[in-house]
Amino acid sequence: MLVGAGITKRFGAVTALAGVDIRVDPGEVVALVGENGSGKSTLSRILSGVLTPDEGMVELDGVACSFSSPAQALEHGIALVAQELTAVPEMSVAENVMLTRIPVTLGRVRRRQLCVQAQPFLDAVGVRCDPAARFSSLRSGDRELVEVAKALAARPRLMILDEATSRLGESDVERLFSIVRRLREEGTSTLLITHRLREIVEIADRAVVLRDGRSAGELSRREVSDERLSSMMVGRDLVDFFHKRTIPFGRPLLEVDDLEVEGGRGPISFEVRAGEVLGLAGLVGAGRTEVLETIAGIRPVVAGSIRIDGAEVRNHSPRGALRAGLALVPEDRRGQGLVLGRSIAENVALGSWRTAGVVDRRRERREGADSIDRLRIRAPHADVEVRTLSGGNQQKVVLARCLSTNPKVLLLDEPTRGIDVGAKEEIFRLMGDMLEAGMGIVMASSELMELLGICDRILVLHDRAMAGELDRTDATEERIALLSAGGQVNHGA
C-alpha cells in the first residue's frame, strides 16, 4: 500500500536517512526500530508529510505522491501520532479530537454536534470522559489515547505511532494495542515506532530495523526476538549485557537511617558498601526519585540522618552533598543535567569552576576529550554543543561530570531511560568500572529486568516508604511487583 523507496534526508552536513526503503501492506502492523538517532522519527515525519525528503519517493497504491504538509498526508489517509503531545490543552476533548473537521454553521461552532461526532472515537480508544471537558483536565494516559482518537477521526488507512507508548503505563499500552489489533482487522495498517522490544514481539507482523540512517534489515513475526533485534540495532552481538562482575564489598559508604522524605509515609533505612549496587524499585509515585533527590540535597530531609563514608552530612544542599562525595545523575537529563547550548567540555566541568578563578580552557578541553574517549561518547570533539548529541551520548556527558567530581557514592535515577540498547550496555559496563574503582551505586529504575540484572540488593518502595528489601539471589520480577503493589513476600515460598 505505502512504499517509500530510497528516501534520503539531510540536515545541514548530517545525513539522517541514506536511501531507506520501507513498505507497509494493508492491515499490517510494522514496527520501526533502531537506536536513538538512527532516523526512525525522521522517516515517520517524511511519511506523514511533516518533512519532505531530499531524495527518493513515497508511493501510495503505486501512485507517487509527495506530501508537502501533514494536512495533505491526512487527506491521503496517513495520520501521525507524534512523539510529543500536539493537543491544545485549553480546548475541549471533543474539539481536540475533531480539530481538523469542527462542524460549523454560519461560522458558529456547533458544540453539541461536535461532542456527538467525537464520542465514537473516544469510545474506540476507551477513554471515558465528558467530551466537553477540557483536555488539560485529563490524566496523562488518557491524553495520549485522545491523541490516538484524533488520528482515528481522520479515518486513516495508515496510523503512525511515534513512541506513543513511551509515556503510557502497562494497562494503557494494553488499551492502545487492542485498538491497533482492531484496526488491523478492519484493514488499517499501523507503523509502530518503539524502544520496547517486548511490544514488538507482542504485536508487530514485521519489524524493520534502522541503523545510522540506513536499513539494517527486517525480521518477520516468526524471526523476531529480543536478542536478534538488539544485535541488528547495534550492529554487533551483545555478549554480556549487564557486565556484572564479582567484586568484594568494602566498607559502608552510604548509610541512610530512618530517612523520611517530603510527603513520606515512613522511615527508610539502608546502606550501600563499596563495590555494591543497590536498586530502588517501586511504581510511579512510590518515591524512588524523592529518595535519591533527598539524599542528593535537592529536597529537604524531614527526619533521619545520612552518613557518607562514616561522616554525617550536615550541609543539606546539592553543593553540600557533592562536597561530601555524592553525585547524582538526575532523572531528567535535559532539564536537570545539562546546559544544552554549551559544549561537552563545559558540561563536564560544570560546577567545578571557582567564581573568582580563571578557567584553564586547555585543561577543560583536554578533560572533555578524555571523557569522550573513556565513555565512548559519539562526538567529533569536546567543543560540540551537547544539544546535538543523541540521548545516550547526553547521558554519558552527565555521567562524565559526575565521575569528574570523584564521588564515593553515585546516585543514578533512571540512567537508561530513553536511550538505546547499545548505550545502555555501555552504561552498565561503566558502572562495573566504577564499582571496581571502589564506588558504591544506588540506582532507581522502572525497568525490573535491569534492576535484576545489575543490582546486588533491591530496595522496594511503596507509597514513599520501604516495602521490603530483596537480595540478588532471591529477587524475582514477581516478588518486586508484589512488594511494589503493597503486598508481602513470603520468603519460605
Partner 1 sequence: MARNGAVIDPPGVQPAKQKHTATASWPERAWAGFAPFAGLVSVLVLLCAFFTITQPQFATYDNLLNILETNASLIVVSVGLTFVMLVGGFDLSIGGVVVLSGVVLAKLITSAGIPVAVAIPLVILGAGAFGAVANGMTIAKLGLSFFVVTLGTLTMTRGAALLIAGGETQDLYDEKVIRWIGGGDVITSALPAPAVLALLVLVIGALILRFTGYGRIIYAVGGNPEAARLAGINITAIRVSAYAISGALAGLAGIMDAGRLAAASPDGAQGLELTAAAAVLLGGTSFVGGSGTLIGTLLGALFLGVVQNGLIIAEISVYWQGVVTGGVLILSVLADRVRRGRAATT
- Residues numbered 184 to 223 that lie near partner 1 (CB under 8 A) are 212-214
Residue 310 binds partner 1 (CB under 8 A): no
Residue 361 binds partner 1 (CB under 8 A): yes
390-409: contacts with partner 1 (CB under 8 A): 390-391, 393, 401
Residue 340 binds partner 1 (CB under 8 A): yes
| DSSP state letters, 206-268 | EEEEEETTEEEEEEETTT--HHHHHHHHHTS---STT--------SEEEEEEEEE-TT-SS-E
> In the numeric block, which cell numbers belong to residue 27?
492491515
* Beta carbon of residue 34, minimum distance to partner 1 (angstroms, whole number): 11
267-286: contacts with partner 1 (CB under 8 A): none
Q: Residues of 226-235 as b/e, b for ≥16 C-beta within 10 angstroms?
A: eeebbbbbbe
* Beta carbon of residue 313, minimum distance to partner 1 (angstroms, whole number): 14
- Phi/psi for 220 (5° steps) reads -80, 175
Nearest CA-CA partner of 294 in 332, 328, 252: 328
* Beta carbon of residue 124, minimum distance to partner 1 (angstroms, whole number): 28
**Interaction mask 454-493, partner 1, x per CB under 8 A:** ----------------------------------------
* Beta carbon of residue 169, minimum distance to partner 1 (angstroms, whole number): 23
Nearest CA-CA partner of 294 in 274, 272, 271, 313: 313
Shorter beta-carbon distance to partner 1: residue 102 or 340: 340
Residue 322 binds partner 1 (CB under 8 A): yes
How deeply is 360 buried, as exposed, middle or buried, from its count of CB atoms within 10 A (0-12, 13-18, 19+)?
Answer: exposed
Residue 264 binds partner 1 (CB under 8 A): no
39-58: contacts with partner 1 (CB under 8 A): 39, 41-42, 45, 51
Longest dimension (CA), the chain: 78
Nearest CA-CA partner of 420 in 42, 32, 16, 37: 37
Cell 572533555 belongs to 368
How far is the C-alpha of 369 from the C-alpha of 381, rounded, in Å? 7
Q: How far is CA 212 from CA 128, 162, 381, in A?
A: 41, 18, 19
Which window, 13-21, 85-93, 132-140, 483-491, contacts partner 1 (CB under 8 A)?
Answer: 13-21
Residue 339 binds partner 1 (CB under 8 A): yes
Shorter beta-carbon distance to partner 1: residue 224 or 377: 377
How far is the C-alpha of 345 from the C-alpha of 368, rounded, in Å? 4
Shorter beta-carbon distance to partner 1: residue 36 or 188: 36
Which window, 19-27, 117-125, 271-279, 369-377, contacts partner 1 (CB under 8 A)?
Answer: 369-377
Strands 108-109 and 2-11: unpaired
125-184: contacts with partner 1 (CB under 8 A): none
Residue 6 binds partner 1 (CB under 8 A): no
* Beta carbon of residue 453, minimum distance to partner 1 (angstroms, whole number): 23
Q: Which of 62, 310, 335, 492 binds partner 1 (CB under 8 A)?
A: 335
Which window, 15-23, 97-105, 445-453, 476-484, contacts partner 1 (CB under 8 A)?
Answer: 15-23
- Strand ranges of the sheet holding 2-11, from the earlier edge strand across to the other edge: 14-24, 2-11, 55-60, 63-65
409-428: contacts with partner 1 (CB under 8 A): none
Q: How far is CA 483 from the centre of its chain?
A: 24
* Beta carbon of residue 170, minimum distance to partner 1 (angstroms, whole number): 25
Shorter beta-carbon distance to partner 1: residue 389 or 430: 389
